Amino acid sequence: MTAAAAGREVGVVSPLVYGPRPDPAPRSIPRTALLIAHTGRADIVDLATMVCKALHREGFEVRILEEEADDLAVDGVTVVPGDDQAAVDAEIVIVFGGDGTFLRAVEVARTADAPLIGVNLGRVGFLAETEPEAVDDTISHILERSYVVEERLSVEAVVFGPGGETLGTTWALNEVSVEKASRTRVLDVALLVDGRQLTSFGCDGVLCATPTGSTAYAFSAGGPVVWPDVEALLVVPTSAHALFARPLVIPPTSILTVAIAEYGEGAVLCADGRRTLPVPPGGRVEVIKSEQPVHVARVHSTGFGDRLVARFRLPADGFRHTAAVPDGG
């Protein structure tokens, strides 16, 4: 466990939520923040630069990634390689951009056990916590350590060859997708849970998503929305040629296996849309809950349902049913 993780104590919000550090460190002890931004847009660069300067004035050691240093030209920052050491001992990782930028930042922060907070500058930005107009308030929460940190379930995937040999491993915060390698062919798969086959069918692919990922690719494929404090794995077939190919919700302790038919051109495993591994004909993919969660910082008390309404613009202001409360209730 890193020093950043040791500074957080278990809170009371839910079993998966950690509270802020109770006693702020003296100002003589430097605090560290890593900033990651989508530098392809001038408005994002301007906002990230402003936050860099504000944190630096407050005594923070501010880190930025090498590939973003030319765009975030701020005096006094520490430039670090964009690897899994960039966030070591960082108190927080602040992400400026959409969900794609957030998932890129997760790759840096996850092994360091550093919490991430996202400033949404994308379209949906479901992984983000705050909006650009609330950045000043967010900075205040960071300075005062008045935020909580949630644990988000992630998954690990292993690709096996036809003979059972391990061909590769990866992980994902949102989802692992097993997709057909050829656009002109149907992918024939068999689904197994804990070693017992449930069904088989032809399809474009199969998603194994986390609750965090239930509002991403799995949602677009017809899967259910799952609250992030629910520990479960989602199995969502995509474009399946079958009468029974419904999404499934399985326990986090289960092993999901996607077995690929021996004929055909095999498949491609894709993790969070960022990391890929080939799956040969006759191979299989096994997906399990990871022992390494992702930590997400939150500064607002807004519940997940309210965020769902806001992000997807649900018609919550239309017909509203109010149940009658019985006397003495």
DSSP-derived secondary structure for 126-186: TT--B-GGGHHHHHHHHHHT--EEEEE--EEEEEE-TTS-EEEEEEESSEEEEEES-TTSP
Tell me, yes or no, if 137 is annotated catalytic: no
Sheet holding 233-238, edge to edge: 248-250, 233-238, 205-209, 175-180, 267-271, 275-279
Q: What is the Cα–Cα distance from 35 to 242, expressed in whole angstroms?
A: 46
Q: Which amino acid is at 131?
A: E
Catalytic residue among 43, 99, 272, 327: 99
**Residue whose entry in the numeric block shows the structure tokens 């009658």:** 324
- Contact call for residues 35 and 94 (beta carbons, < 8 A): yes
DSSP-derived secondary structure for 225-254: P--TTS--EEEEEES-BSS----EEE-TT-
Q: What is the Cα–Cα distance from 19 to 42, expressed in whole angstroms?
A: 35
Burial classification of residue 27, based on how many CB atoms lie within 10 Å of its CB (0-12 exposed, 13-18 middle, 19 or more buried): exposed
Burial classification of residue 12, based on how many CB atoms lie within 10 Å of its CB (0-12 exposed, 13-18 middle, 19 or more buried): exposed
Q: Which residues are catalytic?
A: 99
